Structure 1
Amino acid sequence: MGTEKALLSVGGKTLIDHAIAQARAISEDILIVGPKETFSAYGRLVADVYKDCGPLGGIHAALARTQTNLNLMLAVDTPFITKDFLVYLADAARNNPQAVVTVPRTKDGLQPLCAIYHRSFLPVAEQALKEGRLKLDALFQPASTHLIDLASDAMKQRGFSAAMFDNLNTREDYERVKRGQSRSAKP
């Protein structure tokens, strides 16, 4: 996109401000993974231990720093995620203590950047990073992953849908979000 997405403004708030506000629905203890020069004004920062390793590197850095067992990982470029959904996700993680990851699933696949990770995922992430395996989905073991199926009737009845996971990857996506439309709402 050519610019730092987190600092883009939608509805009078930057995406980072929006993500922090949404995350505060389930915790006041917010860690931000990113460069100090960009994000120091927004809260406590965590630097990647494994540089240039994408989302897995950020998840690892956050889990290495936290003392909390259950940790929300939330991408900054998903402005349609609601507080209600994050509360539901956190409750699902608490109610499934055997789950190492509680992750939403849409028809497009798993949504690992809006998921609850138990701290016990840290050694899995560490080993994968050491081996250069960066694809998150491949690290989720079926026995220890609790899936939240967004296509289910229960999710639809709660008003949750896959459209919440529309993110900003292009300038066109950003312009559409500024108009208040999700990708799913596109004609």
Structure 2
Amino acid sequence: MKAGAVILAGGKSSRMGKNKALLQINGITTIERTKNSLREVFDDILLVANDAEKYRFLNVPITKDKVIDKGPLAGIHAGLLTANHDTNVFVACDMPFISSKLAKLLVELSDGYDAVVPVINGEQHPLFAVYKRSIIRVIENCFETKQLRIKSLLNQVNVKYVTEDQLKNKEIDKLEQVFYNMNHPFEYEKAKIIAKQ
């Protein structure tokens, strides 16, 4: 596939109280689960993390934010600057049940667009989405104008929004579970229960 995958692990995990990327589910860290799922489809996987030493065990290239303290937008920026491909699917490190099939589909839907963002039950999911190198300058302009929300970026580029209705019949299992993310300890506990089921 002529696209790459980028895992974002630059967050501070302040609500969780510990590094959520390294929390284990069924004996495997969340970030390894993400990497293993993406590896089913993507040969090129890049990690964006500001503390590279913690993630050497993943055996993937690691880059860090080029612009400091700008949130997930800085991670997308660093990933696009470093990735080997113009088109990349980006995934947050706190989503233990991502679907490689969905990641592949989002890439396939990206022709003619700067970004592809799923919208499930009316909620946008910009941290399991496709972004292209064509938006780097727009991101840098967002930094300059202090528009740090990803939504601000999306308002300025050509985005394909994909709803659950458009994903039906695509054989993507448990669609809502795919977008489950862990920010608080109770969400981690729930993830462990889901994984056992």
TM-score interval for Structure 1 and Structure 2 normalised by the shorter chain? 0.7 to 0.9
1:66 aligned residue (83, 86, 91): 83
**Structure 1 counterpart of 2:169:** 157
**Structure 1 counterpart of 2:7:** none
- Residue 64 (structure 2) pairs with residue 47 (structure 1): yes
- Larger RCO, structure (CA 8 Å, separation 6 or more): 2
Q: Which 4+ residue blocks in structure 1 deviate beyond 3 angstroms?
A: none
**Structure 1 counterpart of 2:183:** 169
1:121 aligned residue (104, 114, 135): 135
C-alpha deviation, 1:56, in angstroms: 0.3
C-alpha deviation, 1:130, in angstroms: 2.2
- Residue 48 (structure 2) pairs with residue 33 (structure 1): yes
CA-to-partner distance for each residue in 1:157-184, whole Å, 9 max, x for gaps? Answer: 3354233211001110000110116xxx
**Structure 1 counterpart of 2:101:** 84
Read off the aligned partner of 2:168 and give its amino acid letter.
K
Provide the rounded CA distance (Å) in 1 between the counterparts of 2:101 and 2:80. Answer: 24
C-alpha deviation, 1:142, in angstroms: 7.6
2:43 counterpart SS class: coil
CA contact (8 A) 1:32 1:44 kept: yes
CA-to-partner distance for each residue in 1:51-101, whole Å, 9 max, x for gaps? Answer: 1111101000111112311011101111122122112212212xxx21000
Residue segments in structure 1 that go unaligned for 5+ positions in a row: 182-187
Provide the rounded CA distance (Å) in 2 between the counterparts of 1:9 and 1:28. Answer: 24
Provide the rounded CA distance (Å) in 1 between the counterparts of 2:94 and 2:122. Answer: 17
CA contact (8 A) 1:26 1:90 kept: no
What root-mean-square deviation, in Å, do the aligned CA atoms of Structure 1 and Structure 2 show?
1.9
Residue segments in structure 2 that go unaligned for 5+ positions in a row: 1-15
- Residue 144 (structure 2) pairs with residue 130 (structure 1): yes
CA-to-partner distance for each residue in 1:27-50, whole Å, 9 max, x for gaps? Answer: 111111111122222221111011
Higher helix share: 1
CA 26–18 in structure 1, closer or farther in 2 if over 3 Å, else same: same
**Structure 2 counterpart of 1:15:** 30
Aligned residues: 177
Provide the rounded CA distance (Å) in 2 between the counterparts of 1:39 and 1:135. Answer: 26
Provide the rounded CA distance (Å) in 2 between the counterparts of 1:70 and 1:25. Answer: 17
TM-score w.r.t. the length of structure 2 is 0.83
**Structure 2 counterpart of 1:146:** 160
